Homo-oligomer: A and B are copies of this chain.
Amino acid sequence: MARRFVEQLRDGDNLEDVYLVTDKQLRANRNGNPYLLLELRDRTGGIQGRMWNAGDHVARGFDPGDFLYVTGKVQLFQGALQVIVTAVERTEAEKIDFADFLPQTEQSIPKLTDRLRGYLLRLGNPHLRALAECFLMDDAFMRSFTTCPAGVKLHHAYVGGLLEHVVSMMDAADKLLALYPAVDRDLLLMGVFLHDAGKTRELTYGRAFGYSDEGQLVGHIPIAVALLAETAAKVPDLTGEPFPRELMLRIQHMILSHHGELNHGSPKVPMTPEAMLLHLIDLTDTRMHMVLRDLKEDRNNPSAWTPYNHNLGRRIYKGGALGDLFGESGGGYD
């Protein structure tokens, strides 16, 4: 039977399906009887659930981030839908189609991965190519790298978002290198590949998007430097040579400086041409993604402006239809 998504639920519906539980609170009602307040989600949205007379024994049976097979009834209460839950059963994540629960890139992850591999396997510098191979051969890393979002909310906040962001930046790097030939292509592409690789451990994205403890305490920049150290240690096995020290410093520096400024969390500012261009390409792809997403998500709203975006600190102008730019309906300017 086809899944009933949150956005399809209506007052009075009977509910029997799997949902991701993202919040769980054990509360007492006014008579002092305990009840469970749940937040149930899938990729189309969230709905509150209340399970009356559900005490500690039920609450201990699962945690936020678990998938629950929920039985209950949808009802309208104080102007919003909620579910009166009658039974919950923890479901193994293996049986779940994650695509039902987390937003996904609209592009093909395998094709994006192929494009990434294409860029990396054509690197001319043998040390860098070997380094890339060591990462590409690390299945656990690649599984994370191709699944991870690029952010929790800010930009590319969907499964495959990190990969999409990195391939988009590689395309940009590929094009801009023609303008700035003094920039080392191999180094820049390696920087693009690794700059956000620490997000594979900074973020949690198995069920809901969030920050891991390591993510909050250490952050993706030092994690990426650690990943680099661990992986570079394997390179001499492939090349028969030690990994060149200056090359290592230059890669570390690209990762450490890619936010561009200290107060954005980079402990160093860019001091090589490759680090500078990496930062600028990252800034460009991130900003353009945010602007174009705001426009796209708001395209059916008749206002000439998108809603206020707190990260950008502004609204984006949508204006009239494209045709208007050619003046058919316009009054002219004078």
Interface residues in chain A, defined as those with a beta carbon under 8 Å from any beta carbon in chain B: 10-11, 30-32, 76, 81, 125-127, 168, 171-172, 175-176, 178-180, 182-184, 187, 213-214, 216-219, 221-222, 225-226, 229, 232-233, 236, 241-250, 252-253, 256, 262-269, 271-273, 276-277, 280-281, 283-285, 287-288, 291-292, 295-296, 304-305, 313-317, 319-320, 322, 324-327, 330-334
Contacts and interface: CB of A to CB of B under 8 A. Distances in A.
B232 A333 contact: yes
Nearest to A74: B30
A266 B269 contact: no
A216 B305 contact: yes
Contact of A249 (B214, B241, B247, B334): B214
A218 B325 contact: no
Nearest to A220: B267
Given A175-B175, A244-B327, A317 B262 contact: no
A9 to B, nearest CB: 11
Given A316-B272, A327-B127, A176 B175 contact: yes
A278 to B, nearest CB: 11
A246 B319 contact: yes
A219 B267 contact: yes
A131 to B, nearest CB: 11
Contact of A317 (B76, B244, B271, B333): B271
A124 to B, nearest CB: 10
B291 A276 contact: yes
A213 B172 contact: no
Given A216-B271, A216-B317, A265-B268, 19 more contacts: A10-B30, A172-B175, A175-B179, A180-B288, A182-B296, A184-B325, A213-B246, A213-B319, A214-B249, A216-B315, A217-B256, A218-B252, A219-B268, A236-B332, A242-B334, A243-B327, A243-B332, A245-B333, A276-B291
Given A218-B252, A222-B225, A242 B288 contact: no
A62 to B, nearest CB: 13
Contact of A262 (B178, B263, B325): B263
Contacts of A305: 216
B81 A30 contact: yes
Contact of A127 (B265, B271, B326): B326
Contact of A242 (B219, B273, B325, B333): B333
Contact of A324 (B246, B262, B296): B246
A264 B265 CA distance: 10
Contact of A271 (B175, B296, B316, B320): B316
A284 B176 contact: yes
A330 B242 contact: yes
Contact of A217 (B242, B271, B285): B271
A322 B184 CA distance: 9
A250 B333 contact: no
A29 to B, nearest CB: 9
Nearest to A80: B30
Name which of A175, A242, A284 has the most chain B CB atoms within 10 A of its CB. A284
